[in-house]
Each structure stands twice: as structure tokens, then as C-alpha cells.
Amino acid sequence: MAPKVLIVCLGNICRSPMGEAVLRHTAKEREIDLTVDSAGTAGYHIGEDPDHRTISVCKKYGVPISHESRQVIQEDFYKFTHILASDNSNLNDLLRKKPGDSTVEVKLWGSCLDGEPIADPYYGGVKGFEDTYQQCIKLSNAFLDELTKAPDAAL
């Protein structure tokens, strides 16, 4: 069964939709079968499109992006095989909400590489979104490397 990955940030309009788009695009380029979605720990922007700077940066690099913001729901802890948090605050929120009988792996996305969280670019300029994009590329490749090296990888 193909892995199902949920990428999570706070509002689901900047980091996580960009991460979703980049991971999906990178997996496709590497011919790895993967389902990817994104959500936010907070419900500030439910139903909204990604931030215009997120869309702009993804389009600049030829990464298709189409997403409607949503909040993490209980079902996500059973539907996905991996939940990747953008920062430690998101991680702590997810771990608090994770049901005891859920087998999903919940971790900081940065733990796949250097342990660094993805800084929230929302209040900054386009450079912050460029930095987030570059980090998403590195983390996507690191995560996919982990998946393909796993002993039970059926990708």
C-alpha cells in the first residue's frame, strides 16, 4: 500500500500546502507512489486558497499547487501513515490530539534531515517563501529517501 502523508502547519495556507505540492511533485519526479494532503492545527483559514506568495513561488518553480485550507480532524490520525509537522508547536498539538489507538507516525518534518523546523513565512516577504520552498525540496527528498530505505517499503 502506498504511504499516505499529511503535512501540517498552523493555518494551512503557507508551509503545509507548499510542502504538500512540493512533496507530491518530487515523488512524481522520482516515480514514488504516494498520497499527500495538508492541513492546519488551527481553523483560521478553513476553505481558503493558499497564500498568494505560496502559489507564486510554487508556480515559479513549475510545481502545481491546488488546495483548499482545512483543519486537522480526528479521522486524519487513522487515514494517514505519516503526519509531518512543520514546527514543534504543530508537533505538540498533533501529539496531544493523536488517539491512543492510532498507528500513524507523527513527527517533525525536519527530523528527516537536520531537525530544523520550517519557519513560518506568513508575516515576511517573498524571500521567506523562497526559503520555505528550498527547505521543502530538501525535506521532501530526505523523507522520500527514508521511505525508500525502509525495510517494508512497497513503493
CA distances 55 to 11, 78, 114, 131, Å, are: 15, 29, 26, 14
**Which of 9, 14, 58, 112 is flagged as catalytic?**
9
CA distances 109 to 52, 92, 106, Å, are: 23, 13, 9
Mark whether 24 is an active-site residue. no
Mark whether 120 is an active-site residue. yes
How far apart CA 54 and CA 132 sit, in angstroms, is: 9
**Which of 14, 15, 37, 136 is flagged as catalytic?**
15
Beta strands in the chain (DSSP E): 4-9, 35-40, 82-85, 105-108
**Which of 37, 51, 87, 120 is flagged as catalytic?**
120
Which amino acid is located at 58 in the chain?
Answer: C
Mark whether 112 is an active-site residue. no
Q: Which residue's C-alpha cell is 523546523?
A: 117
Instruction: Give the residue numbers annotated as catalytic, written as ranges.
Output: 9, 15, 120
